[in-house]
Amino acid sequence: MAGEPSINRLRWLCRRGMLELDAWLTRFLEVRYADSSAEQQAVFVRLLDQDDMALFDWITGARASPTEFREVVEAIKTTRHTV
């Protein structure tokens, strides 16, 4: 698909201002992104445009994520604890 970011670009976008976010987002990218639907992949790409503190709050459960991101955030939450 034209305009779709490469895995290397996504890996770069997963680098955040917080070590925890770096780890959680990169883990999802490495473990689950390739097997996700095209729609989920597109949502993940849009999620990477969000503010670090909002992402942190959504992933830790401090605040509910917007409906658009809920499924991917839940996948990130479950992926962050897998070995």
pLDDT number for residue 17: 87
Range of the domain at 16: 7-79
Task: Give the separation between CA 57 and CA 81, rounded to whole angstroms.
Answer: 17
Quick one: average pLDDT of 39-68?
Answer: 97
The encoded tokens of residue 77 equal 């939450």
Helix axes 19-31, 52-60, angle to 10 degrees: 70
CA distance 30 to 67: 24
Beta strand spans in the chain (E): none
pTM: 0.89
Report if residue 2 sits inside a domain.
no
Q: Is residue 1 part of a domain?
A: no
Q: How many helices (H) and strands (E) does the chain have?
A: 5, 0
What's the total number of domains in the chain?
Answer: 1
CATH code assigned at 67: 1.10.150.250
For 9-22, how does the pLDDT look when each residue is reduced to its tens digit (9 = 90+)? 999 999 998 999 99
